[in-house]
Amino acid sequence: MTAYEQFCRHAAEINDILCAINVLQWDARIQMPPEGAQTRGYQLATLTRLAQERFTSAENGRLIEVAESELTGADPDSYPVRAVKAAREAYDIFQRIPQDLLAGRAALSAEAQNVWAEARKKNDYALFAPYLKQMLAYAQQMAEAIGYSDHPYDALLVQYEPGMTAQRLQTLFAELRAVSLPLLERITAAGPQPKPAFLEREFPIEQQRAFAIEASVAFGYDLNRGRVDVAPHPFEISFTRQDVRITTRYQLRYPFAAIFGLMHETGHGLYELGAAPELTRSALTSDYLGMYAVGGASFGMHEAQSRMWENLVGRSLAFWQVYYPRLQEYFSTQLADVSLDTFYRAANRVQPSLIRVEADEVTYNLHIMLRTEIEMGLLDGTYTVDELPAAWNAKMEEYLGLTPPDDAQGVLQDVHWATGYFGSFPTYTLGNIMSGQLMAAARRQVSGLDDALARCEYAPLHNWLIDNIYRHARAYTPDELLIRATGEALHTGPYLAYLTEKFDALYPG
Ligand SMILES: [Zn+2]
C-alpha cells in the first residue's frame, strides 16, 4: 500500500464517523422523541471526540507527512495533493488550538443556547449578555490561537470561508451598499408593499409538498439518493453523495415557505450529490475544523448553490411562466383569480423587515452586513457586549429605516452567537455574490442556456455547475473555483447587475 493509500484509509474512517454524526443529527432534528435529547447529546459528543482524536493523532500527523513526501512533484491541483493539503492545514491549525478551549466552548454553547432562547422569550438581553461575553472571550482566544496578521476576524473566517478577510468584506460590502441602498430607496418610495391577500388562503399541505418536490426533481434532485422531510428549521445534510437529505416546512396559509424553502435546500443538496464519486469517504468531503461531513468548498460556495436555485432560477419569471399553470392545477380554487404577474410580484415582494430569515433579495444583504460589522466590532473592541442592542438598532435604522420595538426582534433574533460560531454570517452574502458570478459565467459558456431556462430545462445549467463546481467538493478554495469557473476573482458586478435589472423591472420608478 502506498503512503497516500494509507492516508486515504485513515481519512475514510474519519469520514465514516462524521457521516454517522450527521445521521444522528438528522434523526434528532426530524423524528427523535423529546426525551431522547440528553443521551443523543452524549452520543454526538462521543463520536465528535473520536473523530477529532483520530484526526489530531500523532499517527495521522505521520500519515500526512509521509503522503506529502510521496506526492512531491505531483500535480499541485490534483485531488490527492489537495486532499493531503486540506488535512495538513487543518492538522496544523488544531495543533495551535488548546484542547480546553474547544471543550470549554462546547460546554458553554449548550448552556448559552438555552439561556438565549429564554432571554428571547422574555425579551431580556441582560440575561444573555454574561453568556455572550464568555462566548466572545472564547472567540477572541480562538482567533489568537489560529493566528492572523491584520484583523482577528480573519482567523475566524478561516473556519467557514478560506481566503476571506475583514478587509475584503469591507470592500465588498461598500460596493453592495452603494447599489442596494438607492435601489431600496427607489422601491420603498412607492409606499409599503403589503403581503398579497391570496397568500393567506388555505393551501393544503399535501399539494404544497407535491409541487415543491416536482420542482426539486426538475432542478436535478435525485430521490434515489435523497429524501424530503419536514423540519421546523429546514436544512440539508449528507451522509456521502449516495444519501443527501433535504427538508422544508409547511404553512397552510403561506405556501412560499415550503416552495422556496425546498428550492433552497435543493441547491445545497445538488452540490453534495454532484461530488465526484472518487471523493466519497475522503478528506475532500470532510470539514475537519468543523468536524462535519460536507462536500462543499466553503459555507459561502454552498450558499451560492442554494441561492442560485432558489432565487436566480426559482424566483425568475422564466420559471413561473412554465410552472405557474402547473401550480394552478394543484391549487385550482386558491389561484383561479390570481394572474401570473400578480403571483410573480408576490414571489419577489420587497419590504424592509426586522427579521433576517424573512428578508427578500434586496434587503437580505443589509441584514448580513449589520451582523458582520457588529461581529468584527466585538472582536476588535469597537463595541462592548453591553453596547450591542444600541449598535444593532442604530444600524437597523441606517440600513433598513426600521427600529426594533424590542431586543427579541432585534439583537436577540439569531442563535448564532449563542453557539459560539462567530464569522459565519458573511457567508450568506458571499453566497449571493458568487451565485450572480456563476450564473453570468454559465450564460457566457453554455450556448443556448437562456433558451433552455425559458423551457425549464435545467440539465445544461446543472451540468455546468457539476463540471465546474460540484464535482470538486473541497479540493479548491472558493477563490480558486471562481477563477477556474468564471475566469475572474470574486467580485460584485454580476450580482449587482442581476439585482438592479430584476428589481428595476419589478418596481419601475
Ligand atoms: Zn442555505
Are 481 and 163 in contact, with CB atoms under 8 Å apart?
no
Q: At what angle do helices 493-506 and 361-380 cross, to 10 degrees?
A: 140
Q: What pLDDT, on the 0 to 100 scale, is given for residue 245?
A: 98
Run of H or E including 161: none
pLDDT in tens, 449-491: 999 999 999 999 999 999 999 999 999 999 999 999 999 999 9
Cα of 159 from ligand 1 centre, angstroms: 17
Q: Pick the catalytic residue: 265, 272, 303, 361?
A: 265
Return d(Cα 469, Cα 301) in angstroms, integer: 9
Return d(Cα 137, Cα 150) in angstroms, integer: 19
| Residues belonging to the chain | 509
Portion of the chain with pLDDT greater than 90, in percent = 95
Angle, CA 298 vertex, CA 297 and CA 301 arms, to 5°:
85
Domain coordinates in residue numbering, the chain: 166-506
Q: What pLDDT, on the 0 to 100 scale, is given for residue 220?
A: 98
Cα of 266 from ligand 1 centre, angstroms: 9
pLDDT-based confidence at residue 23 (cuts at 50, 70, 90):
very high
What mean pLDDT value characterizes the chain? 96
pLDDT-based confidence at residue 18 (cuts at 50, 70, 90):
very high
Annotated active-site residue 185? The verdict is no
pLDDT-based confidence at residue 192 (cuts at 50, 70, 90):
confident
pLDDT in tens, 87-134: 999 999 999 999 899 889 988 998 999 999 999 999 999 999 999 999
Return d(Cα 201, Cα 310) in angstroms, integer: 23
pLDDT-based confidence at residue 338 (cuts at 50, 70, 90):
very high
Cα of 310 from ligand 1 centre, angstroms: 10
Cα of 268 from ligand 1 centre, angstroms: 7
Cα of 389 from ligand 1 centre, angstroms: 26
CATH of domain 166-506: 1.10.1370.30
Q: What pLDDT, on the 0 to 100 scale, is given for residue 160?
A: 96
> Which residues lie closer than 8 Å to 469 by C-beta, 6 or more apart?
271, 274, 297, 301, 305, 438, 481, 485
Q: What pLDDT, on the 0 to 100 scale, is given for residue 292?
A: 94
Q: What pLDDT, on the 0 to 100 scale, is given for residue 408?
A: 95
Are 450 and 325 in contact, with CB atoms under 8 Å apart?
no
Question: How many other C-beta atoms can be found within 10 angstroms of the C-beta atom of residue 264?
Answer: 24
pLDDT in tens, 343-389: 999 999 999 999 998 899 999 999 999 999 999 999 999 999 999 99
Angle, CA 341 vertex, CA 336 and CA 347 arms, to 5°:
95
Cα of 432 from ligand 1 centre, angstroms: 11
Q: Which of 269, 350, 274 is nearest to 310 (CA)?
A: 269
Cα of 65 from ligand 1 centre, angstroms: 36
Return d(Cα 104, Cα 138) in angstroms, integer: 8
Cα of 470 from ligand 1 centre, angstroms: 16
Question: How many other C-beta atoms can be found within 10 angstroms of the C-beta atom of residue 444?
Answer: 11
pTM of the model: 0.97
pLDDT-based confidence at residue 136 (cuts at 50, 70, 90):
very high
Q: What pLDDT, on the 0 to 100 scale, is given for residue 193?
A: 83
Q: Which whole-number Å values give the CA distances from 192 to 339, 350, 353, 393, in the listed order? A: 21, 9, 11, 21
190 has a pLDDT exceeding 90: no
Cα of 240 from ligand 1 centre, angstroms: 18
Cα of 306 from ligand 1 centre, angstroms: 6
Run of H or E including 237: strand 236-238
Q: Strand order in 244-248's β-sheet? A: 228-230, 244-248, 236-238
Question: How many other C-beta atoms can be found within 10 angstroms of the C-beta atom of residue 255?
Answer: 25
Cα of 26 from ligand 1 centre, angstroms: 16
